[in-house]
Chain A
């Protein structure tokens, strides 16, 4: 199967083929292009369930934030969007993740192709021990995007709001950059292969407030061209940057097994001013017991 091009026609939310959604936003726009349609998703590690019964839609050119306490499965969930859970031994993903209506987990889908279209930025900046230029050029070179490489690198660095700071030292080692610059370099590295979606797993947790602010500004600029999904421990960050927010919680069974569940998914405005579920209210107000 070939992954669809990024320029797709808008589809009705209902057209992703799901009978029911575990969490349908009460106040989301009625008509907006759906990038991901998730239905009845379950993830387990070595047979132990980590996340169950998740259903939601992720919208194009929006920032969607996942919040929740530790162990609620939000990082597990974000990894399902570009099949990085496949790389974890014993991980099993069941249910459906549709990307523009096509099953990401169908047997004929190439995970490498998936990760090209759906890039990921991690908690700690993880540049390669190479020059700034080579870090950004690495992805395009690997997948054979060799034409106009200089322009591609410059464009990615500009999009990541890093070009002006590094244009005179592209051959310097990336480790010489500050933490915030390294994280923007990782974003540039992700952008260099023309993804449609950027997944960010706690991208600011290792950064100081100024660098965090720079990344948040960048996310705001990037959402015009990309769809962004972010996992964050910082609720105020979700409140500041996200259009949609999903709150995940933990369900504990009789035997003490803890499984992540999606509790509420709605516009960020709704989640932070008048959430529907008492558990969401308890968490966002800091009264989660």
Chain B
């Protein structure tokens, strides 16, 4: 029953997963560009964002059409709305990768870098990749447990962020070093934000599964019941 609606929903899910794969590619590219100072790779990541944007716009158009033509309700409606939200989160994650790529080009020109900080980014980057993967899988498989596990993973990336910021604050050196450190704080913040967006995707999975939206983490109510 409702074969066309089901096909369109399946297609939306597939397109969303593809967009997620693009974000993971952008993230890996941005981290590599930062680590080895590869300006060409950074430019590729920046240019690649147009493709992510194009896919995000296409998904948005598909959801709009689906709602207008198929008038989905209940789980179908929640799925369409969740795709719409996740689409925005993925598009923002790709933008954060672009920020890292852009910074990698500037940073290389002013400072050779600190191995321990770059190592910290590698660890945060791996966490961000893992979280993005977990978020996408949790949505694909309607896995509430996996979605909720993102909160603990986010704690790890937040710790990484604090460590890197601590290392950068302790750096001694000239104005170039301080400028470089400021840029690296932004990189750290971008990675941390990618983790936050992955948690937001997990919240959409929970909304799809349970029918009720709730924030897993709330900065204004840190002790809120999870």
Interchain CB contact under 8 A, A281 and B1:
no
Residue pair B1, A273 in contact (C-beta under 8 Å): no
B contact residues around A236 at 8 Å (CB): 71
B7 to chain A, nearest CB (A): 13
B74 touches A285 (CB 8 A): yes
Asked if B72 CB lies within 8 Å of chain A CBs, one says yes
Chain A interface residue number, banded: 10 to 19
B212 at the interface (CB under 8 A from A): yes
- Cross-chain contact A285 with B71 (CB below 8 angstroms): no
Assess the B74–A289 pair: CB atoms within 8 A. no
Please tell me which stretch of B52-60, B75-83, B128-136, B149-157 contacts chain A, meaning at least 4 of its Cβ atoms lie within 8 angstroms of it.
B75-83
Indicate if A288 sits at the interface (CB-CB under 8 A). Answer: yes
Among B1, B2, B74, B75, the one with the most A-chain Cβ atoms within 10 Å of its Cβ is B74
Q: Nearest chain B CB to A280's CB is how many angstroms away? A: 8
Does A272 make an interface contact (CB < 8 A)? yes
- Is B211 close to A, CB under 8 A? yes
Interface members, chain B 198-226 (any A CB < 8 Å): 210-212
Bitwise interface map of B from 1 to 37 toward A, beta carbon under 8 Å scored 1, else 0: 1100100000000000000000000000000000000
Quick one: which of A135-167 are within 8 Å of B by CB? Answer: none
| A273 pairs with B77, CB closer than 8 A | yes
Given contacts A273-B211, A274-B212, contact A285 B78 (CB under 8 A): no
* B71 & A273 in contact (Cβ 8 Å cutoff): no
Q: B75 and A281: CB pair below 8 A?
A: yes
A287 engages B73 (CB within 8 Å): no
**Per-residue A-contact encoding for B83-125, CB less than 8 Å = 1, 0 else:** 0000000000000000000000000000000000000000000
Q: Answer yes or no: A25 CB below 8 A from chain B CBs.
A: no
- Find out whether the CB atom of B1 lies under 8 angstroms from the CB atom of A274: no
Q: Which residues of A contact B71 (CB under 8 A)?
A: 236
- Residues of B within 8 Å of A286, CB to CB, are 1-2, 5
A227 to B141 alpha-carbon distance, docked (Å): 44
Cross-chain contact A274 with B211 (CB below 8 angstroms):
yes
- B-contact 0/1 string along A112-133, CB 8 Å cutoff: 0000000000000000000000
Enumerate A265-282 residues with CB–CB distance to B below 8 Å: 272-275, 281
> A287, B78: Cβ atoms under 8 Å?
no
Contact A285 B72 (CB under 8 A): yes
B70 to A, closest residue via Cβ = A286
B76 and A285 contact, CB distance less than 8 A: yes
B5 to chain A, nearest CB (A): 7
B2 partner residues in chain A, CB cutoff 8 A: 285-287
Contact of A281 among B5, B74, B210, B212 (CB under 8 A): B74
Please state if B1 and A239 are interface contacts (CB–CB under 8 Å): no
List residues of chain A with CB within 8 A of the CB of B212.
274
* A273, B73: Cα distance in complex, Å: 6
Indicate whether A28 reaches chain B with its CB closer than 8 angstroms. Answer: no
Selected from B73, B78, B210, the residue in CB contact (under 8 A) with A284 is B73
Instruction: Return the chain B residue nearest A239 by Cβ.
Output: B73
- Further contacts, 18 of them, CB under 8 A, given A239-B73, A284-B73, A285-B73: A236-B71, A272-B74, A273-B74, A273-B77, A273-B78, A274-B74, A274-B78, A274-B210, A281-B74, A281-B75, A284-B74, A285-B2, A285-B74, A286-B1, A286-B5, A287-B1, A287-B2, A288-B1
List 29 contacting pairs A-B, 8 Å CB cutoff, sorted by A.
Answer: A235-B73, A236-B71, A239-B73, A272-B73, A272-B77, A273-B73, A273-B74, A273-B77, A273-B211, A274-B74, A274-B78, A274-B210, A274-B211, A274-B212, A275-B74, A281-B74, A281-B75, A284-B73, A285-B2, A285-B72, A285-B73, A285-B74, A285-B75, A285-B76, A286-B1, A286-B2, A286-B5, A287-B1, A289-B1
Top 5 nearest A-B pairs (CB, nearest first) are: A274-B211, A286-B2, A287-B1, A272-B73, A284-B73
